[in-house]
């Protein structure tokens, strides 16, 4: 059933989600769970006020473009639209946090396939090392969340966009290796072939160790 977005927009303008429905919050925004016409939805909104809110709203629009590119892809919440440049409307998918789950090789095989399909569609996530952005669905398969740091590859000649996409694409693969092995030691030769850490990543790692 297609979601009646104009009707949902009227509902949100009249009665924005309350704190009781809060799923997560950060400096960039809040995510609330609501029920609308029998559907469970996750509504992400930009946080802050003034200039900060405008920056977060811009990031929300960028995130919406990523979800639109990944529409109907398994392992990605379904996207329904962006209302008033303020509310990002996604399907709510029942899952449990990655960091609280015992996952095995099958999960990581599925996650790698998901990451590769995402890249084929022209989206690089950019923040997969953050375990809060990963979840485990009821059938044990991976779920990717929060595309706030993502980049969408543009068509045509856009050298900077392509360069940033390739950087984040590789960052996603590096993150997969780190998630699977808990670090970069004892990585199999096959998986090591995926690993190419940039000087930026190496520098950040050294800073964290100080």
List, as one string, the DSSP characters of 116-129. Answer: HHHHHTTEE-S-TT
Where does the pLDDT of residue 18 fall: very low under 50, low under 70, confident under 90, or very high at 90 and above? confident
Q: Which of 32, 30, 82, 28 is nearest to 56 (CA)?
A: 28
Domains and CATH numbers, the chain: 5-91 (3.30.200.20), 95-209 (1.10.510.10)
The answer, yes or no, to whether residue 119 has pLDDT greater than 90, is: yes
Burial class (CB in 10 A: 0-12, 13-18, 19+), 156: exposed
29's CB contacts (< 8 A; 6+ apart) are 44, 45, 46, 47, 56, 60, 148
Q: pLDDT tens digits, residue range 41-88?
A: 999 998 878 888 888 888 899 999 999 999 999 999 999 999 998 899
How does pLDDT run across 88-108, given as a tens digit for each residue?
Answer: 999 999 999 999 999 999 999
Residue 201 has pLDDT above 70, yes or no: no
Task: Identify the pLDDT of residue 2.
Answer: 79
Indicate the average pLDDT of the chain: 91
pLDDT for the residue 123: 98
| Model confidence pLDDT, tens digit, residues 157-168 | 899 999 999 999
- Is residue 207 scored above 60 in pLDDT? no
Q: Tell if the pTM clears 0.85, that is, is over it.
A: yes
């Amino acid at each position: 059933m297609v979601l009646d977005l104009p009707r949902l927009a009227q509902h949100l303008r009249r009665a924005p989600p309350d704190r009781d429905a809060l799923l997560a919050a950060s400096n960039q925004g809040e995510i609330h769970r609501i029920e609308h016409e029998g559907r469970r939805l996750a509504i992400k909104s930009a946080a802050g006020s003034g200039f900060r809110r405008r920056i977060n709203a811009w990031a929300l629009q960028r995130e919406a473009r990523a979800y639109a590119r990944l529409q109907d892809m398994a392992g990605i919440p379904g996207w329904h639209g962006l209302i008033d440049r303020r509310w990002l409307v996604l399907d709510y998918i029942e899952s449990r946090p990655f960091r609280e789950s015992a996952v095995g090789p099958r999960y990581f095989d599925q996650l790698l396939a998901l990451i590769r399909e995402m890249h084929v569609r022209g989206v690089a996530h950019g923040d997969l090392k953050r375990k809060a952005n990963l979840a485990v669905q009821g059938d044990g398969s991976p779920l990717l969340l929060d595309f706030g740091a993502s980049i969408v590859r543009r068509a045509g000649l856009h050298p900077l966009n392509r360069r940033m996409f390739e950087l984040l694409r590789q960052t996603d693969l590096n993150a997969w290796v780190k998630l699977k092995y808990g670090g970069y030691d004892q990585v199999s030769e096959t998986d090591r072939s995926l690993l190419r850490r940039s000087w930026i990543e190496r520098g950040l790692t050294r800073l964290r160790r100080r």
